[in-house]
Every structure is written in C-alpha cells, then in structure tokens.
C-alpha cells in the first residue's frame, strides 16, 4: 500500500505526473537544435535531482497534503494535486537555481579537499600548517612522516566520496549565496501565472468548489476557498517558506506589494507580469 505521506514516484520525464512540469518547461526554456525549438531537457535535470531536492527543500509532500486552502482552491480549478505538487517543486527549483550563486568549485569545501588530496598523492610531500598567534606572530608546524601523510590523504578520500554520495553535486547548499527573496517571490509568481495560462485556468470556474468544501467541513476544517490566482500563489509562497509573514495565507495584498517593488526595479518584469495579471 502506498504511503500517503510520500509523493507518487516518477520514473521518467514522460510520466503523466510531470504534465504540468513539462508544459511549463517547454514554454519557458525549450531546447534548440540550431534550427527548431525542441522539447525542454530541463525536466530531465529536475528529475535526476528530485530525490536530493526532497531532502533539501524546507517543505514536504506530507505538509502539502495538509495545506487545505491550497488543495481546495487547486481542486476547485480541476487540477490534479500530485501533478501540481511536482509543479510546485519544479518552480521552486527554477527559482532557487536562478537566484543563487554557487561558490566556484575550487573554493568549495569539496574542491579544497580534492586539491589537497591531489597534492598529498605526489612524491616528497610534507604538510605545513600555519597558525597566527597573538599580534603578528605566526606559529608553524610541518608534518613529514610518510605514514601520517598517507592517513590524512585516506581520510580526505573518504570525506570526498561521502560528500559525493550525500550531495550528488560538487557543493552543498550552505555554499550558495541567495539573492533577495523579493526577487525570488516575483519570479515565482511569474512562473505560476505562466503555468496557469498554459493550463487555461479560468478564475470564473470552480466546478468542484461546493463538493470540496463540504468534504472538508465534515472533517472539521474551516476552509477559506478563493479563486483569486494571486492568493493561491501567495499561499504557495508561504508554504515553501520564502516568507514567514502569515498574512500571505489570507490576502494577496503583500504579494501585490512585492510585485510592485519588482516592477519598480525591473521594467521588463513589469511588462511581463502586467500582461499576465490582466486575466485575474
């Protein structure tokens, strides 16, 4: 029996559960063979990294299943909740990739360990460690014992391998610089609006609204259902922890303020977001 707290597994980029992901990727970042646009390869990269993303990101599928306001609105629009889960993770993934700078590999923890390991693998090796004392004095110790150096080299090799297994990449999330969350929220909003347009999401149609609310009411939940698309995005932004301002759960006013700031700083963003906001 499937675990209700674990998202249904996806085995390849053609899996129906990635329908929303593929639609957005093909629209936002299609591949190009030199002559024609081709299906995006980004879903393949996303799929390869998904197991690590599940562990790294500050939200979970189990938490998503408890976001009753989001689920009620989404289901009222006729969207599939598992396909939408993968869309949320994918849009967050694109946002993080766009608004973080990776530390150059040679300066990362793993990079530094590999460089040191390569040096220790040579001949006639010694290790000199310098420690600054009080004032400008510098204390130095030099290790020349071959067996001691081999032990240090073997420890480094084990650590490098462990880092590779644990991360699946050459750097940890702690070694990434994150940009303004204001810009991240603006970009995420733009992506969700693009997806909603691609899915032909009509704010006037909530065909499952009455049925879904009654189901939740019988379970003792007080659901605030809205078909305002910006409020749905606002609630998702709160769910993925881009903000700890709980007003995002009840009104889109804070998000509209974020979008106004983004538009003030970036005229291109203003043009794109205004065009997408017209149907709302």
Q: Kindly state the DSSP code that residue 36 receives in the 8-state scheme.
A: S
Under 8 Å between Cβ of 191 and 95: yes
What pLDDT score was predicted for residue 56? 87
- Averaged pLDDT for residues 204-213: 50
* Residue 117 clears pLDDT 70, i.e. is over it: yes
| pTM more than 0.85 | no
Distance CA 92, CA 187 (A): 10
| Residue 275 clears pLDDT 50, i.e. is over it | no
CA 2 remoteness from chain centre: 25
pLDDT for 101 equals: 63
Q: Indicate the helix (H) or strand (E) that contains 164.
A: helix 146-167
**Cα 104 from Cα 61, distance rounded (Å):** 32
Query: Residue 250 phi/psi, 5° resolution?
Result: -115, -15
Confidence bin at 77 (pLDDT 50/70/90): confident
- Tell me how far CA of residue 145 lies from CA of 14, 136, 142, in angstroms: 56, 29, 9
pLDDT over 70 at 212, yes or no: no
* 177: helix, strand or coil: strand
For the stretch 118-176, pLDDT in tens is 777 766 778 887 776 665 566 778 888 888 888 888 888 888 777 654 443 344 444 45
d(CA 128, CA 51): 40
CA 111 to chain centre: 23
């Amino acid at each position: 029996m499937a675990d209700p707290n674990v998202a249904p597994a996806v085995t390849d980029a053609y899996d129906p559960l990635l329908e929303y992901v593929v639609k957005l990727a093909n629209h936002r970042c299609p591949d190009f063979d030199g002559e024609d646009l081709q299906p995006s390869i980004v879903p393949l990269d996303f799929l390869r990294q998904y197991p690590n993303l599940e562990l790294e990101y500050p939200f979970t599928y189990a938490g998503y299943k408890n976001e009753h306001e989001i689920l009620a609105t989404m289901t009222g629009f006729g969207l599939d909740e598992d396909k939408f889960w993968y869309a949320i993770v994918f849009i967050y993934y694109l946002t993080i990739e766009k608004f973080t700078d990776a530390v150059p590999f040679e300066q990362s923890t793993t990079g530094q360990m590999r460089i040191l390991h390569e040096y220790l693998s040579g001949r006639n090796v010694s290790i000199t460690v310098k420690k600054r004392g009080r004032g400008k004095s510098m204390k130095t110790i030099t290790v020349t014992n071959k067996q001691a150096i081999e032990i240090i080299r073997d420890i480094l090799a084990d650590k490098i391998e462990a880092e590779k297994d644990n991360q699946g990449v050459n750097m940890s999330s702690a070694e990434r610089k994150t940009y303004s969350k204001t810009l991240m929220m603006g970009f995420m909003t733009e992506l969700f609006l693009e997806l909603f347009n691609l899915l032909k999401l009509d704010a006037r149609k909530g065909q499952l609204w009455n049925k879904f609310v009654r189901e939740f009411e019988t379970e003792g939940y007080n659901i605030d259902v809205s078909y305002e698309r910006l409020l749905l995005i606002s609630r998702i932004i709160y769910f993925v922890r881009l903000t700890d301002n709980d007003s995002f759960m009840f009104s889109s006013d804070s998000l509209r303020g974020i979008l106004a700031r983004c538009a003030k700083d970036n005229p291109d963003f203003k043009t794109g977001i205004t065009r997408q906001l017209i149907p709302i």
